[in-house]
Chains A and B, each alone.
Chain A
Amino acid sequence: MSIALATDHGSPTELGLDQSPLAVRGMTVSYGQKPAVFSVDMTVAEGAMTAIIGPNGAGKSTLLKAALGVISPLAGRATVYGKALKGQRHRIAYVPQRASVDWDFPTRVIDVVQMGLYRELGLLKRVRAKHVAKAMACLDRVGMTDFADRQIGQLSGGQQQRVFLARALAQGADLYLLDEPFAGVDAATEKAIISVLKSLKDEGKTVVAVHHDLATVAEYFDRVFLINTRKVAEGPVATTFTAEHLNAAYGGRLAMAQIDQLDLAAG
């Protein structure tokens, strides 16, 4: 397995910065007096699926946004495949939280997917048949071709999430960053999304998702990154997704009974 290669010999920081799809160092973000993310290091393993987990308000989304330059950090830096973010944006696809946009916006499903072609189309390049075909192929991958001409507000939450995923696919990236892709979606959508993400992994792409359902971590992901403002732990699910680390990340908020039900690594 590709992840084993990266972590055979202990701590994930041994991964070279020059190889990691996304390496974050000393990231600190504050929205007011209190830091939301404090001095966090993260090294994403290439070709793996990583879950970022932690309690509400732990800074999971903030960490992603700061790494992407969506919000500006107080301190810290991120490199993408060993280089500064600026020249590497074409290699990243980003799926923001579904609730972060106004779904009443006057636009159709196909238009949203075509937004994923922005780097290709630039300001004025004409949308040609091949661009439309590409967008339709991405919609097909998430099972939404029948909805191409619908106004986005007419979709269910799960369908909206699939459209966001199709837009990310249209970006044709190597690294996929998703913010709570399973939040508020139906079971069929969750299955569809995870199957697309696994197929991306099979193509050698790297996937990082902010995730909140601890019960599915072991089933869906190879690696976990636990955070509660500060980094708690990162590594393969098999060795890092332990009761000890969960307690450290969630504090007393996670009852032992809940932890017992999880498919945890022996810690």
Chain B
Amino acid sequence: MSGAEFVPLSLTPLLIGVFAAIACALPGNFLLLRRQALIGDAISHVVLPGIVVAFLLTGAVSAWPMMLGAAGASLIAVGMIEAIRRLGKIEPGAAMGVTFTAMFAAGVLLLEQTDTSSVHLDVEHALYGNLESLIWLDAIGWESLTDPVALAGLPEELPRIFLTLLGVAAFIWLFWRPLKISTFDPSFAQAVGVSTGVIGLALVVVAAVAAVAAFDAVGSIIVIAMFICPPAAARLMTNRLEVQIAWSVVFAALSAVLGYVLAGYGPIWVGSNHAVSAAGMIATISGLILAVAAMFAPCRTRSGAPVG
């Protein structure tokens, strides 16, 4: 494929897909080890009512109010989950289940009750995003990467998800030790002066920010898959957290690239002339990677089990 075709049509969706996948997979590693992986699922569902409310208030499909609405909704959801868990004295999974199904349902209801026929705001969009449409029409080839005029026409999702990824990576780099210690041994962490409650909340907020930014560009299917599949597959590859993080980044990027390419060209290779959803294919690939890891990866046995 020539640069003249690749750069305008495929480069930006590919980059956005890769950045979104990594931004979700990074905090996913810690959520997985904290048995909170479901929170990615919860966040990606609860942002729907936030987005709809933001749309109703502003009357326009514009990115920033919607991201604020989504962020607000995810914070409310985190608060509700904590409140239900503490007041009801039930396990966190159940509290999440109650919260996100209720809020997602409220979001769908709000959507149905409002006139959204004129705008591109519907449940399909929320689920699958519109990765394929994030093209860079101002580009004419690789040389556009150094052309300021063409660069100004980049889809705005690209810098946004890139900045989000930088923020997520910076958070994990900066708070690596307290994150690791409080994930492994919360009592000890508290005893040495780590504010485990603040760290835990910060992790969830960072995950929510990543989810909302990714959701805007690529839809909730990818968000849900990327919080869980790459970290889970990575855990099966190694017994060291540092290495696990690296593997999860590799798997997330691999899912995004392979999924995007297969969605565009796979059906043609098998004789169909309809491309399939890139978001759906990316999520599917991440699941396949996890399945392969579960069958062949080196650290599959629970090492906690007695040896021989």
Contact = CB atoms under 8 A, between A and B. Distances in A.
Given A106-B235, A118-B181, A123-B178, A100 B187 contact: yes
Contacts of A118: 177-178, 181, 192, 194
Contacts of A68: 190-191
Contacts of A69: 190-191
With most chain A CB atoms within 10 A of its CB, the pick from B174, B240, B244, B302 is B240
A124 B174 contact: yes
Nearest to A167: B188
Interface string A101-128: 1111111100110010011011110000
A106 B234 CA distance: 11
Given A92-B191, A105-B33, A123-B175, A115 B235 contact: no
Nearest to A179: B187
B272 interface: no
B160 to A, nearest CB: 28
A65 B190 CA distance: 9
Interface in A23-65: 32, 65
Interface string A137-173: 0000000000000010110000000000001000100
A29 to B, nearest CB: 14
Given A100-B187, A105-B183, A106-B239, A153 B303 contact: yes
A89 interface: yes
A108 B188 contact: no
Interface residues of B, number: 30
Contacts of A103: 303-304
Contact of B240 (A92, A106, A167): A106
Contacts of B192: 89, 94, 118-119, 171
Consensus secondary structure, chain B interface = helix
B177 A96 contact: no
B233 to A, nearest CB: 13
With a 10 A CB-CB cut-off, give which of A89, A112, A118, A122 has the most chain B CB atoms: A118
B187 A94 contact: yes
Contacts of A167: 188
15 contacts: A69-B190, A70-B190, A92-B191, A94-B191, A96-B185, A96-B191, A106-B241, A107-B184, A107-B239, A107-B241, A119-B193, A151-B239, A151-B240, A151-B303, A153-B239
Interface of B: 33, 89, 174-178, 180-181, 183-185, 187-188, 190-194, 235, 238-241, 243-244, 302-304, 307
Interface of A: 32, 65, 68-70, 89, 92, 94, 96, 100-108, 111-112, 115, 118-119, 121-124, 151, 153-154, 167, 171
